[in-house]
Amino acid sequence: MCERGVCYCPHGHKGEDCSILSCPDDCGRHGVCMHGSCMCFSGWDGPACELLGCPNKCSGKGACVNGTCLCNPGYVGDDCSRIACPQHCSQHGICNLGSCICFHGFMGEACDQRACPSDCNQRGYCINGTCDCTPPWSGIDCSVQPCPRNCSGVGMCRGDACYCPDGYTGDACQTRVLSPRWKRSSSYSDRMLMPPGADDALAA
């Protein structure tokens, strides 16, 4: 509106002839007004540059509140740019692109489980640091194999070899023979295990 040669500009306009678009609160001294919009200085945000800005505008994955990003679920970081890991890897690993790289001795998606020795050698299940071995394997890492067929119930198992009594031979003492001696399974060695008094009996 013009009165006595002076323009009285409507809201949103300024200048001698009201041709310049104005900005809210003149950008609050925290930005520059260009064509009716505030171009905020670094660290400021909002229509009038009245709000503290957030790093990288929270990467579009969070809300900026007083200069701090409140990240959406699944994202972390000052600017919400990193994919979160489950349970922050339980403080037992490093988060890399949303996946945990567990420290030595820990395992699981969130590094929240104790690892087992040698991963149970793929012969059992690891339950929080203890191997539950699949039969016939045993030992703390499922590396111990019992004697074949339990030495057929007639021999003695020592380590992983059968020691057969008189009259039996074979890996599992499964074959009947005539023998005056106890003999270790021929599949492992030719060493003999003599029962007490056997030397005297043979000498006679």
What's the pLDDT tens digit per position in 15-44?
666 777 888 888 988 899 888 899 999 888
What's the pLDDT tens digit per position in 98-152?
999 999 999 999 999 999 999 999 999 999 899 999 887 888 999 877 788 878 8
Total of domains in the chain: 2
Which of 32, 51, 70 is the C-terminal boundary of a domain? Answer: 51
Tokens describing residue 83: 């994919």
Q: What is the pLDDT of residue 161?
A: 85
Q: Are strands 6-7 and 82-83 parallel, antiparallel or unpaired?
A: unpaired
Residue 82 lies in a domain: no
Residue 91 lies in a domain: no
> 129, 115 in Cβ contact below 8 A?
yes
Residue 175 lies in a domain: yes
Which of 51, 66, 87 is the C-terminal boundary of a domain? Answer: 51
138-174 burial, b for 16+ CB within 10 Å, e for fewer? bbebbbeeebbeebbeebeeeeebbbbbeebbbbbbb
Q: What is the domain extent for residue 169?
A: 150-203
Task: Classify residue 126 as exposed, middle or buried by CB count within 10 Å of its CB (0-12, 13-18, 19+).
Answer: buried
Q: What is the CA radius of gyration of the chain?
A: 41
Enumerate residues 6+ apart whose C-beta is below 8 A from 117: 131, 140, 141
Distance between CA atoms of 47 and 176, rounded to whole angstroms?
97
Query: Regarding predicted confidence, which is higher, 201 or 77?
Result: 77
Residue 186 lies in a domain: yes
Residue 102 lies in a domain: no
